[in-house]
């Protein structure tokens, strides 16, 4: 694989995004890396998430990636803008790093009839205010309500998400979000892990509520981006290669990864230090 598209996440969750990228754009090579050794990113400070994410982006560049997608909402919220504006011009002016927030915020207004949106994410994503700020740029009239769901990532990571105990935490946060306004008719799952909870989330929202997962949105946005940037498109290698790396245990990664990616995964260990 010469110049694969790099797909980054704090751990396994970004595989839900990679799965959609591979489905909609199968012709390209992909290199996925999960920083499992330092996950979760959700509760960490701005400085730490930025520092970790930049280090991972530099690793992707060292592997030949011209384009890196931060499939992690927390990294997109806390590190992307600084990397794009402050770091890239100095370290790799020709390369690009994209996130998952902009693709979601630039279309979300098309789904709501009431003009009221709910955002579910990690504590870090919610406290960064990235979603309300970005949505206001594209759809200034929308009302945006947020709810941090700190228990949802551990439920998925510990394989408890299909069990009855998960319902308590799922209902708790959906009730808290919907209590902020009865008018919310569109909910964005602004965390890589939440699509795995979709069937349970459905049970606790009104039947007319639209629930959006990001994988499909990010894939459609990447198709558009590559059409608009043919110079970048030509620099990405083709051949359908998929390579998976983790900063932690390969056995753990491979065990979890198939849940997120939907097919068996065989990863390699990397050491960032």
Residues of this chain that bind ligand DGL (CB under 6 A):
9-11, 13, 39-42, 72-74, 122, 125, 153, 191-193
Q: Are 10 and 41 in contact (CB under 8 A)?
A: yes
Nearer to ligand DGL, 150 or 183 (CB): 150
SS3 138: helix
Q: Are 17 and 30 in contact (CB under 8 A)?
A: no
CB of 69 to ligand DGL, least distance (A): 12
Catalytic choice (65, 72, 149, 245):
72
Place of tokens 């890196």: 68
| Euclidean distance between CA atoms 187 and 144, whole angstroms | 10
Nearest CA among 192, 179, 117 for reference residue 152: 192
CB of 17 to ligand DGL, least distance (A): 9
| Euclidean distance between CA atoms 197 and 49, whole angstroms | 25
The full DSSP string for 174-213 is: HHHHHHH-TT--EEEE-STTGGGGHHHHHHTS-TT-EEE-
> How buried is residue 88: exposed, middle or buried, by Cβ count under 10 Å (0-12/13-18/19+)?
middle
CB of 149 to ligand DGL, least distance (A): 10
CB of 272 to ligand DGL, least distance (A): 16
Q: Are 123 and 191 in contact (CB under 8 A)?
A: no
CB of 213 to ligand DGL, least distance (A): 12
Place of tokens 């598209």: 5
Residue nearest to ligand DGL (CB): 42
Q: Are 242 and 32 in contact (CB under 8 A)?
A: yes
Nearer to ligand DGL, 3 or 76 (CB): 76
Nearer to ligand DGL, 72 or 166 (CB): 72
Nearer to ligand DGL, 70 or 236 (CB): 70
Strand partners, 34: 9, 246
Nearer to ligand DGL, 136 or 151 (CB): 151
Nearer to ligand DGL, 40 or 103 (CB): 40
72 carries an active-site annotation: yes
CB of 84 to ligand DGL, least distance (A): 18
Which of the residues are catalytic? Answer: 72, 191
């Amino acid at each position: 694989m010469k110049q694969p598209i790099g797909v980054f996440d704090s751990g396994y969750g970004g595989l839900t995004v990679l799965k959609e990228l591979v489905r909609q754009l199968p012709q390209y090579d992909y290199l996925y890396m999960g920083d499992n050794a330092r996950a979760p990113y959700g509760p960490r400070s701005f400085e730490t998430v930025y520092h970790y994410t930049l280090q991972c982006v530099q690793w992707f560049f060292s592997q030949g990636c011209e384009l890196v997608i931060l499939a992690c909402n927390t990294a997109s919220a806390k590190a992307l803008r600084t990397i794009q504006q402050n770091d890239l011009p100095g370290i790799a002016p020709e390369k690009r790093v994209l996130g998952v927030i902009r693709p979601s915020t630039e279309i979300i207004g098309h789904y709501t009839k009431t003009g009221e949106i709910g955002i579910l994410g990690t504590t870090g994503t919610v406290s960064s205010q990235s979603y309300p700020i970005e949505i206001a740029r594209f759809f200034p009239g929308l009302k945006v309500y947020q709810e941090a769901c700190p228990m949802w990532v551990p439920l998925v990571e510990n394989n408890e998400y299909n069990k009855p105990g998960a319902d308590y935490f799922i209902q708790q946060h959906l009730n808290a979000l919907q209590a902020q306004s009865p008018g919310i008719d569109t909910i964005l799952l602004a965390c890589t892990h939440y699509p795995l909870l979709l069937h349970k989330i459905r049970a606790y929202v009104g039947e007319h509520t639209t629930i959006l997962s990001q994988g499909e949105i990010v894939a459609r946005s990447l198709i558009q981006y590559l059409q608009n940037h043919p110079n970048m498109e030509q620099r990405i290698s083709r051949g359908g290669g998929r390579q998976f790396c983790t900063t932690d245990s390969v056995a753990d990664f491979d065990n979890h990864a198939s849940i997120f990616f939907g097919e068996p995964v065989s990863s390699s260990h990397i050491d960032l230090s």
